Amino acid sequence: MIGDMQTAALVGRDGSVDWMCLPHFDSPACFAALLGDEQNGNWWIRPTGGERTATRRRYRHDTLILESEWDTPDGTVRLIDFMPPRGGHPHLVRIVEGVTGTVRMSTAIRLRFDYGNVVPWIHRVDSEVVAVAGPDSVWLSGPVPLEGHNFMHDADFTVTAGQRVPFVLSWHPSHAEESDHLDAEKALAQTERFWRDWVSRCTYQGRYRDAVVRSLITLKALTYRPTGGIVAAPTTSLPEDIGGVRNWDYRYCWLRDATITLEALIRSGYTDEAHSWREWLVRAVAGEPQHIQIMYGVRGERRLAEWEADWLPGYAESRPVRIGNAAVGQYQLDVYGEVMEVLYLAQKSGMSAGEHVWGLQRSLVNYLEWCWSEPDEGLWEVRGPRQHFVHSKVMAWVAADRAVRMIEEYGKEGPLERWKALRDTIHAEVCEYGYDAERNTFTQYYGSHELDASLLLIPEVGFLPYDDPRVVGTIEAIREDLMVDGFVLRYRTDRADAADKLPGDEGAFLACSFWLANALLSIGREKEARELFERLLALRNDVGLLAEEYDPRIGRQVGNFPQAFSHFPLVTTALNLSHHDGHRRSEPDSD
């Protein structure tokens, strides 16, 4: 992934940009080959003939600048891809650099607007190729003349050692004047300086620093800079089950990510980003508490209607390709706890907030008093019947508990005794109906025999301590039942009373595996925790990125990519392991 903190592009090992939405994360893609083929739009640059896949790739140190290198019989060539942090319109810059010898190169670009559905009208303005359709115009400039044929533009050229050939693609509204020309080399220097300055603020210096910094850069790149909202992923419909229907649009901001987002940012030294995320959340959920949603657009939009792009065959024939997300209309009780927890953590971290924020919190808890006992769709947005999910009830408890703490610790005004009683009532009900005493484990929902990895968060939010036998029993049960080939499933999808009624299966959810590593560490099983964490690090691709899931059946990552919900727990688990290291070193040596 490369990006400018308003949108992103995915670059393949073969030097092809196969996915890019312009001008924003949730805009229609102009390169959509990722979900179809090259006729749906892509742009490749690579050596002519021979091996298409780059010999090696890396991000330039502490940046989001991607460097791909090919070793050929005639020499070595490097492709530098990046998107400068945006000042006006978006730009994608690709610089071909000769390293040794003289290498013959080829490039071809197929622009297709509206997710690969619209072939634009293409013409030239001086030396630039201009593509226009509807509201979009894309301008491509460079020193190599491109020839048009078969609804594409291509060219062959050579690059010698020390030579650099820049290409710049820019977007602006089709009705607007041509955007300013970008100096590729100057933009490269500015982009490198931006990312290195940003990384220098990271306070983490532990043994996993490289993985943490790469995750933090990825998360920064998934942030919509104008508002502070963070998208779950820059892609839609990358399948959780190859060839199946579990394909969702993740280019939106989920409240389920709220707490771990704030925690990871604050603990890593990024208080400005944490503040921007808190402010995005407050604006997004403003309004009547009964209308709070589980997700919003990057600018706080509420209407994210789901439809299918039926002209796209899908990644590896995985249909349908969905645009928008119908889960936006689901009822999820846990979001009240997420919002209350984030605002409590922000207060605890010294982030000031106006009295209107406490007013929002009060209205949420007042509403929760009469809605918490209803069933919901749960954290995982199951598309089966509503249930009394244990995690949802625990997060309702979190909402009441944080309201009580705001009054007791920060002097806020509110009905303290009433909310204490609410907290106690929810706690008692969960322990009675959500716990299987015979098996010594909490269950996915009331009356179910199934487990759910979200139960690992019970001690994390303070509902019960880690040394409570019921918590230890739940951790053990999840480890035994949901762990497959060393990684953790969200829940079982292949049993009669599974809440998930969709066909097909899915891989191990990477966030859940990080949760288990953290839980094992917290109950004193550091060796197992570290082994699991390092197995998870080993799943990252060649440039350190994680998707949503890992499918052990086929030995590969699956789901939308890269996934914020995988990288945030990577950061927090690494911090916890390093904190444990530091605590152990500070203890006096035993006799």
- DSSP secondary structure string for all residues of 401-464: HHHHHHHHHH---S-HHHHHHHHHHHHHHHHHHSEETTTTEE-SBTT-----GGGGGTTTTTSS
Q: Is the pLDDT of residue 578 over 70?
A: yes
Using 50, 70 and 90 to split pLDDT, how confident is the model at 219?
A: very high
DSSP 374: S
Asked whether residue 586 carries a pLDDT value surpassing 60, the answer given is: no
How far is Cα 3 from Cα 83, in angstroms, rounded to an integer?
5
Mean pLDDT for 493-516 is 78
- Whether residue 257 contacts residue 568, with contact meaning beta carbons closer than 8 Å, is answered with yes
Report how far apart, in Å, the C-alpha atoms of 62 and of each of 195, 198, 212, 422, 582 are.
7, 9, 11, 47, 25
**pLDDT at 581 (0 to 100):** 67
Tokens for 323, please give them.
Answer: 């645009």
Match domain 2-199 to its CATH number in 3.90.1150.10, 3.40.50.150, 2.40.30.170, 2.70.98.40: 2.70.98.40
Q: How many CB atoms lie within 10 A of CB 268?
A: 23
Q: Report the candidate in 290, 296, 308 with the shortest Cα–Cα distance to residue 257.
A: 296
Instruction: Specify whether the CB–CB gap between 119 and 136 falls below 8 A.
Output: no
Chain mean pLDDT for the chain: 93
**Res 95 pLDDT > 80:** yes
pLDDT at 591: 34
pLDDT in tens, 292-304: 899 999 999 999 9
Backbone angles phi, psi at 141, to 5 degrees: -125, 155
For 446-472, what is each residue's pLDDT tens digit?
999 999 999 999 999 999 999 999 999
Please, which pLDDT band fits residue 353 given cuts at 50, 70 and 90?
confident
Confidence of residue 513 (pLDDT cuts 50, 70, 90): very high
Q: How confident is the model at residue 590 (pLDDT cuts 50, 70, 90)?
A: very low
Domain locations along the chain: 2-199, 201-581
Categorize the per-residue pLDDT at 319 as very low, low, confident or very high, splitting at 50, 70 and 90: very high
Could you give the CA distance from residue 521 to residue 516 in angstroms, rounded to a whole number? Answer: 8
CA atoms of 119 and 414, how far apart (whole Å): 59
Instruction: Give the pLDDT band of residue 501 (cuts 50, 70, 90).
Output: low
Average pLDDT over residues 515-533: 96
Residue 256 has what pLDDT? 86
d(CA 490, CA 57): 32
pLDDT score recorded for residue 495? 65
- Residue 114 confidence (pLDDT) above 60: yes
> What's the helix, strand, coil split of the chain in %, to 5?
35, 25, 40
The answer to whether the beta carbons of residues 321 and 245 sit under 8 Å apart is no
**Greatest C-alpha distance within the chain:** 81
pLDDT beyond 50 at 589: no
50 Ramachandran zone, left/alpha/beta (phi>0; psi -120 to 50)? left
100-131 exposure pattern, b = at least 16 Cβ within 10 A, e = fewer: eeebbbebbbbbbbbbbbbbbebeeeeebbbb
Task: Over range 479-488, report the average pLDDT.
Answer: 93
pLDDT band at 171 (very low <50, low <70, confident <90, very high): very high
Say what the pLDDT of residue 504 is: 63
Block residue for tokens 């989920």: 254
Identify the pLDDT of residue 497: 62
What's the CA gap between 449 and 481, in Å, rounded? 11
Query: Residue 500 has what pLDDT?
Result: 62
On the question of a common fold for 2-199 and 201-581, the answer reads no
Looking at the domain that runs over 201-581, which CATH code has it been given? 1.50.10.10
* pLDDT band (50, 70, 90) for residue 588: very low
